[in-house]
Amino acid sequence: MKKIVKRAIVLFIVTLTLFGMVACRQAPIVDVNNVGAGYEASISGEITWTFNVGNAFEKRAANSFIKAFQSAYPNASVKLDASSSSTTRVNGGTIGDVFYFSETQIYEYAVTCNGLMPLEGYVAALEMDLSDVYMGIFELGKIDGRLYYVSRDYNAICFTYNKDKLVEHNLDSMVKNEWAWSDLLHISKTITEATTEDNERFYGANIDLTYSPVYVTFFESAVGGTWCNTEDKKITFIDEDGRTLQAMQECIDAALAGYINPGANSVAKGTPVFKYCVHPQVLAQGNDYDTAGVDWDIVAFPGFGENGENRGFGCGSSGFGVYNRTRNKDTAAAFALYFYTEDGQRAYNGQPGASVPVIGSLKDDSSWRYPDKAEDGWDVKNWDAFVFEAQTASIVGQVVCRMPYEIANKINNEMKKIIPDVMQGRTALDNAFTELQTTCNDLWSTLVDY
């Protein structure tokens, strides 16, 4: 018995020792309180970039970006760690100085893991002019006013659409980037009713109201950012004149009539004329149209208001943050923020199959417009849809980037229930959102750390 106890004690001591050795190897959190205007950054030495390049484009883009950065900063070098990021690696100190993740993970890595270094001081220290970076894509990297994340590309909600079907019904002239939500409703109703008896049935549009960049677009375009007040810690879905939910109610009404598929319990039958998409999806959708022999095009998401003057396009991205235990904070910060320079964006998104650059000066570049598909007529598609009013109308599409995670998680989960419940007649839209508003605000009042 004594031997067993002794062995247990020894094992316990060894475990503590090993744990301590691992903990000791993990560097302390870096101090950036002195970083700002006038700070002289020393951009030199080696950093590691954790980025699991998943395809040929990403591999070319990553190598091109590293080459451009090292050319701009000859004393710095970057080692590519082509593996995946994870909370385990962040918590265990095995992640690279700069690492890849999606915008939906910003709160998780910055707050829950306390693993990201704030970068706004380096924007000032490096004297960066970010006025040409699309504001919506820039803002999604911030939590409580601090910048933790840098986007590599810009993805706004748009539509691809069956142009042949619209021409057939003399509706094609209504579809343009400056169109209004009322135009889409009219076209959807006309197409659905006109093809109800056809062997090949069509309905108006596929719009997933359970997806954050889509439903945020409905909230935001109606009343601007007032539905989410982070200063007063308040969510307002039920405003005095009902504008916040007006367009969503119109979408539900159209869905109940079979004109629109809202992403849950749809009664729409057949094939949608309009399919919501972001730029990375257009290649697959376009190829599907080509295979079917259908003439197609792209259009921006419509604006709300009488003439579509209220515009807010939910945008998202994936990108990079800096590990807050990096041993080379200046070089790591400069590398991440290089994505917000024209040279950095051109190096990364100048590859075949690239995504939309985050810089306005590159909106007309051909690299992301699939020039290799010119022989299929893709060069004349409305690629401007993906950057239409991007500087003035792009908004943060993911609720997890706009408010405390606990509130955002509640909204995301409830939207997946509310839309089916309303479609099935189990509740009214106003009632569901009144309850959600109360729940969110009660919960927010208990969050003392945000």
The rounded percent of the chain whose pLDDT value lies above 90 is 78
Residue spans of the domains in the chain: they are: 30-154+317-368, 156-315+375-444
| Residue 18 scores a pLDDT above 50 | no
Could you tell me the pLDDT band of residue 19, with boundaries at 50, 70 and 90? very low
Assign 449 a pLDDT band (cuts: 50, 70, 90): low
Instruction: Give the pLDDT of residue 198.
Output: 63
Residue 34, pLDDT above cutoff 60: yes
Ramachandran quadrant class, 324 (left: phi over 0; alpha: psi -120 to 50; beta: rest): alpha
* CATH number for the domain running over 30-154+317-368: 3.40.190.10
3-state secondary structure of 296: strand
Residue 210 near residue 264 (C-beta atoms within 8 A) = yes
State residue 28's pLDDT score.
Answer: 95
Check residue 373 and give its pLDDT.
87
Amino acid 315: pLDDT: 93
Could you tell me what percent of the chain has a pLDDT over 70? 93
Distance CA 334, CA 34 (A): 16
- For 344-363, what is each residue's pLDDT tens digit? 999 999 988 789 999 999 99
Tell me: pLDDT of 6 over 50: no
Q: Is 323 helix (H, G, I), strand (E, B) or coil?
A: strand
Q: Each residue of 63-73: pLDDT tens digit?
A: 999 999 999 99
Domain boundaries 156-315+375-444, CATH class: alpha beta
pLDDT single digits (tens) 171-221: 999 999 999 999 999 999 999 999 877 668 999 999 999 999 999 999 988
CA distances from 152 to 170, 189, 280, 304, 399 (A): 40, 38, 13, 29, 19
Residue 8 pLDDT > 50:
no
Residue 295 has pLDDT above 90, yes or no: yes
Tell me what the pLDDT averaged over the chain comes to. Answer: 91
Residue with the bigger pLDDT between 198 and 424: it is 424
Q: Spell out the residues 6+ positions from residue 181 whose beta carbon is closer than 8 angstroms to its own.
A: 247, 250, 302, 303, 304, 308
- What DSSP assignment string belongs to 263-288? SSS----SEEEEEEE-HHHHHHHHHH
Which of 158-172, 189-203, 395-409 holds the top average pLDDT? 158-172
Amino acid (one-letter) located at 58:
E
pLDDT at 246 exceeding the cut of 70: yes
Report in angstroms the alpha-carbon separations of 73 from 76, 127, 353: 6, 15, 27
Mean pLDDT on 286-299: 97
Both tokens of residue 254?
Answer: 């159209």
pLDDT at 25 > cutoff 90: no
For residues 317-333, give the mean pLDDT: 97
Contact 397, 216 (CB under 8 A): yes
Question: Residues 258-279: what's their mean pLDDT?
Answer: 93
- Nearest residue to 150 via CA among 313, 400, 358, 397: 358
Question: Which pLDDT value is given to residue 440?
Answer: 97
Give the DSSP letter string of 133-161.
Answer: B-HHHHHTTEETTEE--EES--EE-EEEE
Q: Is the pLDDT of residue 24 over 70?
A: no
- Residues near 73 by Cβ (< 8 Å), separated by ≥ 6? 43, 44, 331, 334
**Which range, 231-235, 255-259, 403-407, is most confident?**
255-259
| 327, pLDDT greater than 50 | yes
Q: Largest Cα–Cα distance in the chain?
A: 91
Is residue 147's pLDDT more than 90? yes
Answer yes or no: is pLDDT of 135 > 70. Answer: yes
